[in-house]
Chains A and B, each alone.
Chain A
Amino acid sequence: MTASVFFGCTFIAFGPAIALFLFTIARDPLRVIFLIAGAFFWLCSLLLSSLVWFITVQISNKESSSQQKGLLIFGVVLSVLLQETCRFGYYKLLKKANEGLLMLSAEETMPISIRQLAYVSGLGFGFMSGAFSMVNILADSVGPGTIGIHGDSQHYFLSSAFMTMAIVLLHMFWGVVFFDSCEKQHWWSLAVVVISHLLVSCLTFQNPQYVGSLVPTYIIVFLLGLWAFFCSGGSLRNLKLCLTCKDKDFLLANHRPR
């Protein structure tokens, strides 16, 4: 469409991610490093899944559309599984790195906690995933036209942007929940993460019925956000305290030396 659509969609898709990066990650170089490493791990999973996809497409029958559709579903499922596997791999690597960092550093406490690492790595996954989903669409949106000459819906750019925002947030929440359940050895919650990822990805097969894919996705975002909030130490009481601005009393009461 035009520059206004380009900027609008960029802000929608990457607004929360940019805000989170600016306020929580940018100041601390260690967090930035782990963010980028997380993005790299997501890229590795994408590389592997695209390799498999490429090979299977070449050997498949290009004419049959049902086979191509089946291949697409297979590709999506495989990609999700590979992403979660890479997330697990990154978790294992971070655990080992943490021990090493502790040995090297002069301080007694770890410079970065595993919970922070969970959040940072999830956000890294989200950034890279969002970038790959959205950048080509953004590049096309700069031109003077819009989608629709072959009969498709013209809300493609907007819904892609909202979907990408949801994916970014979801990756962050999945990261937190995943690492937390690995720490606590709650394998069922791990399975829930993987299943919800699969569910969100498969919901996109409903496109171009954008309502059908976006609404359930946002419900899942909300639910997972709540879960991640509880996993990372939040509670309803804390939330009420914050919102009613009684937190200062709380801090003073619970003040502990750092």
Chain B
Amino acid sequence: TVPCVRLLNATHQIGCQSSISGDTGVIHVLESEADLEWPLSKGPNPPYMVLLESSLFTKSIMMKMKNASSRVAGVVVVQKTSPPEFSPHTTCPNENTGVYTETYDHNLAHCNTTVWNPRGNGLSYEEFDSPVFSLKEDNETEVIKQCYFDHNRVVNGSGLQYPLCAMQLFSHMHAVTDTATCMRRSSMDFSTSPVMVCDPLGGYNVCAFIRPYNSTAFGHKENESVVIAAARLDSRAFFLEDSTGAEGSVSGFVTLLAAAQALREATQEAPPTRNILFAFFHGEVFDYIGSSRMVYDMKNNMFVIDLDNVHSILEIGQVKTLRSGTNLFLHSDPVSRRNNTVTNLVKNLQSSTAGLNFSLVETDFSQPLPPSSFQRLLRARAIPGIVLADHQTDINNRYYESFYDNAAHLNLTYPSNLSPEEQLEFVTDTAKSLTEVATAVARALFKQAGGNNSQVNKINADPKTVTQMLYGFLVRSNNSWFQAVMAPELKDILHTLTSIKKVLGSSLRCVFCLSEPNPPQYYVGVAKSSHQANALTYLVQYLLANLTGTATNLTQSQCKKPDELPNESTYLYSYLWVQGVVPPNSTQRESFCVRTAVRLVKAVSPAFDLGDYISKEYSTWTKSQWKFIKARIFLVASRDLEMLTLGVGVAVLFTSLLVTYFVRTKADVLFSSVREPNNAAY
């Protein structure tokens, strides 16, 4: 069961809320849009709990049910077939926190020239008063539908027979109104254990320099020039925990990971003049949490470089499968284009596709940048940069920021007779085309960083790595390669623990069911106070470490304290103990220590550090807390039977009181025939 939860920002609350003792409604399975008449007006036993299939989960139906909230107690969406297109995101994503504000360029603000997500219906940003849950199509959903068919169907004109099958959903959210209110309420409790009502969203960015700097020396670095290669990690869906983001984010960061691996050899043999920073930003969907944090750190000397050190930026946006001959597009900012700083970068990129199956085309010069992390850097400083994407004008991802943006949408297909391990190794067409993109990106980065041109053609991305990453991120994350690159204490996060609390008729109970090894969650999650990131961040960190770092001979205890050794330094590198592969003839893993420049950088919106919860500058998204979330089905009896029971009870009580009184007053008479002489009578 995946609930829709409440999120708050500086001005609004979005998402769903149930009442504190749950919302009960008679189950009604919606068959078509016209069938909506029954729960909304015709049905005789409101409130109803509407069960609909994913193809009926549209904005018009949800809005109609939202307006009739007295008759509709809640909605349950069963994931079945995907509709032809569906995007619950807004039409202009991150409208107010990008670079296109009124002051920057009036014509480009608020998507005046290009509406980036025209299919967007904004459902994710609506507020619902009733709970909305999502169920997979499995045995428990069958039980619910069977209960409906057994008890709730109208039999040819005659009315419904009680008892009816009903469902109760609990998803009471503690936070209300907006972030400022809930943060104020969280801090009002003066006891030793403060009660938090909401949590800020956030996580960690993954950063790696090709030539690492001393991690304790913050601020400007003299004579250092860095090219930033960026991608975003997160995505979202209407039901936050169901986010997949295959085209939206996975394609981008997998390409960048492959490019990082491709650059490893060349940059070690012939290091380029400029440094390259691989930055994977988290929380970008929610008003650029990760990138705004990095810019804030750079401006306030809390990061190893600052904005003056940044030479240019190349961001990998959505890159979908290419059939041979299709193009990718280079987006740039029209305002900063006016002084021609981007042309070099464009030249480097376009020349990097020589010998590959696609070409890079520049978009129209008057078109603004699509929603991307580059916008936040541009907002702080006019840095030249390019965003690489598969769409020329608006986003052509039919399932942008929705649950259906998954492996199937990326045409990730495997032959049916392969085992999971064979599927891991199989190179799909998608992987092949992403490999070409990664090669082009790596070469362009090398050239942009001033590398030796003769080395460029040796830079090639590895299709096997790409296909393994795609498999792990989109199909099954508990595979042998991911297990090999992870640390031993983290290997369990590759199973997605779903806590499904379902009480069916108070006899079946399933708490913390270990589901099959699913892909990890792509939603950014809340920023935990302990130094714990979510599964996706750790995966990207360890993958990047394995792909760009070096294996060392250190033992496990040395790996924990490498400073004692003469050639190792934790200022420059981080040392990670990874599990390694299992050799064919044994059962023990060959674990080893990786020396890598990869670091996790905290990515929480600066608004929470500054205490400015109504900030228009930074992201203010928080997620409400709740006590428990559960769903259950049972039968409800008719009101008449309940009242009859009460009536009978009261009648019995009255009658017995009367009779007893009567017997007591007449007891002398009633029990007088056998009297023993020395007994006291009643």
Contact = CB atoms under 8 A, between A and B. Distances in A.
Interface string B635-668: 1110001111111111011011101110010101
A97 interface: no
Interface stretch (B205-213, B249-257, B672-680): B672-680
B646 A148 contact: no
Chain A contact surface mostly: helix
B601 interface: no
Contacts of B633: 149
Contact of B670 (A10, A157, A238): A238
A229 B655 CA distance: 19
A113 B680 CA distance: 7
Size class of the contact patch on chain B: 35 or more
B488 interface: no
B669 interface: yes
Given A5-B642, A8-B645, A238-B673, A19 B653 contact: yes
Interface stretch (A46-54, A83-91, A190-198, A239-247): A239-247
A10 B670 CA distance: 30
A4 B643 contact: yes
A165 B653 CA distance: 11
- Max chain B C-beta neighbours (<10 A), residue from A7, A18, A146: A146
B593 interface: no
A145 to B, nearest CB: 3
Interface stretch (B162-170, B184-192, B467-475): B162-170
- Max chain A C-beta neighbours (<10 A), residue from B652, B671, B675, B676: B652
B634 to A, nearest CB: 3
A148 B635 contact: yes
Contact of B657 (A19, A147, A234, A258): A19
Given A12-B648, A24-B660, A113 B679 contact: yes
A35 to B, nearest CB: 15
B153 to A, nearest CB: 16
Nearest to B669: A247
B669 A251 contact: yes
Nearest to B659: A19
Contact of A8 (B505, B647, B661): B647
Given A145-B636, A149-B634, A4 B672 contact: no
B669 A241 contact: yes
A250 B637 contact: no
A145 B679 contact: no
Contacts of A147: 635
B147 interface: yes
A118 to B, nearest CB: 12
A23 B661 contact: yes
B530 interface: no
Given A16-B656, A145-B166, A233 B672 contact: yes
B352 interface: no
B620 interface: no
A7 B679 contact: no
Contact of B679 (A4, A9, A109, A143): A109
A10 B635 CA distance: 21
Interface in A1-60: 1-2, 4-5, 7-12, 15-16, 18-20, 22-24
Given A11-B653, A111-B680, A148-B163, A19 B660 contact: yes
A143 B507 CA distance: 15
Given A8-B646, A15-B652, A110-B678, A235 B635 contact: no
B635 A144 contact: no
Contacts of B647: 8
A225 to B, nearest CB: 12
A224 B271 CA distance: 104
Contact of A154 (B635, B664, B669, B679): B635
Nearest to A116: B682
- Max chain B C-beta neighbours (<10 A), residue from A7, A15, A22, A258: A15
Contacts of B636: 1, 144-146
A96 interface: no
Contacts of A12: 645, 648-649, 652
A66 interface: no
B235 interface: no
B24 interface: yes
B653 A18 contact: yes
Contact of B671 (A146, A234, A254): A234
B631 to A, nearest CB: 13
Nearest to B667: A24
Given A15-B656, A23-B660, A145-B634, A233 B649 contact: no
B671 A232 contact: yes
A154 B642 CA distance: 11
B156 to A, nearest CB: 23
Interface string B504-538: 11010000000000000000000000000000000
B14 to A, nearest CB: 29
Contacts of A229: 670
Nearest to B643: A4
Contacts of A69: none
- Max chain A C-beta neighbours (<10 A), residue from B645, B648, B652: B645
Contact of B673 (A16, A115, A145, A234): A234
A149 B666 contact: no
20 contacts: A1-B642, A4-B646, A8-B644, A10-B649, A15-B652, A15-B657, A18-B653, A24-B660, A112-B680, A144-B24, A144-B166, A146-B635, A154-B637, A154-B641, A165-B652, A233-B670, A238-B670, A238-B672, A242-B666, A247-B669
Interface of B: 24, 147, 163, 165-166, 168, 504-505, 507, 633-637, 641-650, 652-653, 655-657, 659-661, 664, 666, 668-676, 678-682
Interface of A: 1-2, 4-5, 7-12, 15-16, 18-20, 22-24, 108-113, 115-116, 143-150, 154, 157-158, 161, 165, 229, 232-235, 237-239, 241-242, 247, 250-251, 254, 258
Given A113-B680, A250-B669, 7 more contacts: A1-B636, A4-B646, A12-B645, A24-B664, A111-B680, A113-B679, A145-B635
